[in-house]
A and B are shown apart, each in its own frame.
Chain A
Amino acid sequence: MSDKRIGADARAAKGWFGAHKWLLLRRGTQLAILGLFLLGPLAGVWIVKGNLAYSYTFGVLPLTDPYVALQSLFTGHLPETLGLVGVAIVVAFYVLVGGRVYCSWVCPVNIVTDSAGWLRRRLGIKGSVHLARTTRYWMLAMTLVGSALSGVILWELVNPVSMLHRGLIFGIGFAWTIVLAVFLFDLFVMSRGWCGRLCPVGAFYGLLGRVSPLRVSAPARAACNDCMDCFEVCPEPQVIRPALKGAATGAGPVILAAACTNCGRCIDVCAKDVFRFGSRFNNALPVGEAGGDRAATPGQF
């Protein structure tokens, strides 16, 4: 590791905006979605009613959080038609664009944990409690089994995601303490702890996106100069290696891991433009590599 800031090479190569394009788009999307929800209560413009658990847009479009609905199903309750239609729409959307797009482009806690991650790097905080990344799947199973056993939608009793989002729209109360706890946990206790290891919501959406056509790919991986900036900035760095360093083993350039949030920060911070948004089906070996016989041309996004 050099002492240079992460992404310094990318800024030099592409300019500040070029090195922050996807980050800006992502924050813009997150804030726009939050803004749409807040327009009603703050300005009386009722485009969207509700919150991330369920919302009703323009009085026609229902959107239901499938994970909350699934827990409800485990308690033995079936929602009304509108609720079910909302589940179908949301599931279809995230299966298409990548399950964890929810985490990086919609979830309000992402801003909190990304801030904690950024501050952790700036302050140079080293050391972290170790917890396997598979813990979240155990958490997911636990909330479903627990919902069935208790008859209560279990995770919603403590879910920081819905607490923060609901709090911003309906009145925060003491929910800010929970959000602060998540921030401090990620900052001091466990690097990328909440989203990367514990949160069952992210685990659920990750499973939803296992077959998503929209993926980050490393078609120009031959140009990689091992600066490690993408690994440093990535919230789930373990997903990069197979795609970026897979030339030797014959693995394709597409990041197929369900844990990838499609946030695009690796695209931003790479001075060599190794990464692109593309299709999972475009996983042939890039030109110039052993066995690569055709150019991979991921669609431009």
Chain B
Amino acid sequence: MARHDETLPPAVRKAAPARRQFIFDAARMACGVGMLGLGLGLYAKQAKALPALALRPPGALAEGDFLGACIRCGLCVRDCPYDTLSLAKPEAPVATGTPYFTARSIPCEMCEDIPCVKACPTGALDHGLTDINRARMGLAALIDHETCLNFLGLRCDVCYRVCPVIDKAITLELVPNTRTGRHAMFLPTVHSEHCTGCGKCEKACVTEEAAIKVLPIALAKGALGQHYRLGWEEQKKSGGSLIDEKSMVDLPDRLPEGTTLPGHYDPASGMTAPPGMPGSAPGPVPSAPPGLGGPAVPSAPPGLGSEAVPPGMPGAVAGKVPSHPPGLGGGR
């Protein structure tokens, strides 16, 4: 910087304050506008945090990329035949002007020709998506086991019935209802391999607040560690067990005194497995317990098949079916 003193030539003396002023002006602008930019940048960072229940249209890029690609024109909104999509208003917790939908209000109907994607002029909705079944708007998750009617042992099944990818994205898994002791529970189970996140299940859930909700995939999915190997999958792949079954040792099972459990062996309580039973001799471990597809148990007590009820359970005694289980007002 030229110093403003008598030793400098007059031209420099005159130019120095002007140049200094210019630099100051530029600095003032850069600082003022820069601060504004900083604020905008922080706001942009906030805008990237999409609320869990705001879903992007099919084919939407990852949120960070989407906000750099979407120019907020609303063509996807216009070409959606079902009024599913809307553009975010400034007060919505979604980046202003970007398209989203709320599954519980109007879910995605999964049009075969995906008009919203075709309408997008920028590719914020990826034009590479031509099969709507490959869309991943989110992932349905049966969040609340306490209010899902099927979990309560009833047969609602509505989410399963309305699923556009029925029997693939949502299946009903049967498990015994231990409360009644003689029913099955049909548990709606979502499979991420097929779920598109369209939200029709969430829309259709009959409870006051949906027990099944579509969430961002990152929220809905866990992740197994890379080191996990599923033995049964590996067995399928290699066509046989990966370990030497011959050298497997059956360790004793500790049982309460005086109890016996067919097929098990407890040297401490004097219970040894009868000959021919697993545990009576060294050998390969059965792949499943008896009664669940394992080898039949020759010396099992009569009536202890897979179709009968163990003694002491309701239904073990032939006669009138109790209206309630014992201890809950039911007779023995």
Contacts and interface: CB of A to CB of B under 8 A. Distances in A.
Interface of A: 40, 46, 49-51, 53-56, 62, 64-65, 68-69, 72, 75-80, 82-83, 86, 132, 134-135, 138-139, 141-143, 145-147, 149-158, 162-163, 166-167, 169-175, 177-178
Contacts of B68: 72, 75-77, 147, 151-153
Given A138-B32, A166-B74, 8 more contacts: A49-B78, A135-B32, A138-B29, A138-B33, A157-B44, A166-B72, A166-B97, A172-B89
Contact of A170 (B36, B37, B77, B121): B77
A156 B36 contact: no
Contact of A150 (B29, B41, B92, B127): B41
Contacts of A155: 40
A153 B47 CA distance: 11
B96 A157 contact: yes
A171 B89 CA distance: 8
B241 to A, nearest CB: 50
Interface string B69-100: 11111110111000000110111100111000
Contacts of B73: 50-51, 53-55
Contacts of A149: 41
B181 interface: no
A50 B74 CA distance: 5
A158 B65 CA distance: 19
Nearest to A174: B91
A155 B163 CA distance: 40
A245 B119 CA distance: 52
A139 B33 contact: yes
Interface in B51-77: 64-65, 67-75, 77
Given A83-B122, A142-B33, A142-B34, A163 B96 contact: yes
Given A132-B29, A170-B86, A174-B90, A50 B75 contact: yes
A56 B76 CA distance: 12
Interface in B123-159: 123-124, 127
18 contacts: A51-B72, A55-B73, A64-B71, A72-B68, A134-B29, A146-B40, A146-B41, A154-B37, A154-B44, A157-B43, A157-B96, A158-B96, A162-B97, A166-B72, A166-B97, A172-B89, A173-B92, A175-B90
Closest 8 CB pairs of A and B: A173-B89, A75-B68, A54-B73, A83-B121, A152-B44, A79-B122, A150-B44, A142-B37
Contacts of B71: 53-54, 64-65, 68-69, 72, 79, 83, 153, 156
A64 to B, nearest CB: 7
A77 B90 contact: no
B251 to A, nearest CB: 56
B205 interface: no
A163 B90 CA distance: 8
Contact of A154 (B30, B41, B48, B87): B41
A244 to B, nearest CB: 27
B267 to A, nearest CB: 66
B75 A56 contact: yes
B122 A156 contact: no
B25 interface: yes
Contacts of B25: 132
B108 interface: no
Given A64-B71, A72-B71, A77 B122 contact: yes
A82 B44 contact: no
Given A79-B123, A158-B96, A146 B72 contact: no
B120 interface: yes
B97 A151 contact: no
A112 B44 CA distance: 27
B70 to A, nearest CB: 8
Contacts of B40: 142-143, 146, 150, 154-155, 157-158
Nearest to B46: A157
B237 interface: no
B171 to A, nearest CB: 38
Contacts of A40: 78
A156 B78 contact: no
B45 interface: yes
A157 B47 contact: yes
B33 A173 contact: no
Given A54-B121, A64-B121, A156-B97, A77 B69 contact: yes
Nearest to B73: A54
B159 to A, nearest CB: 31
Nearest to B97: A166
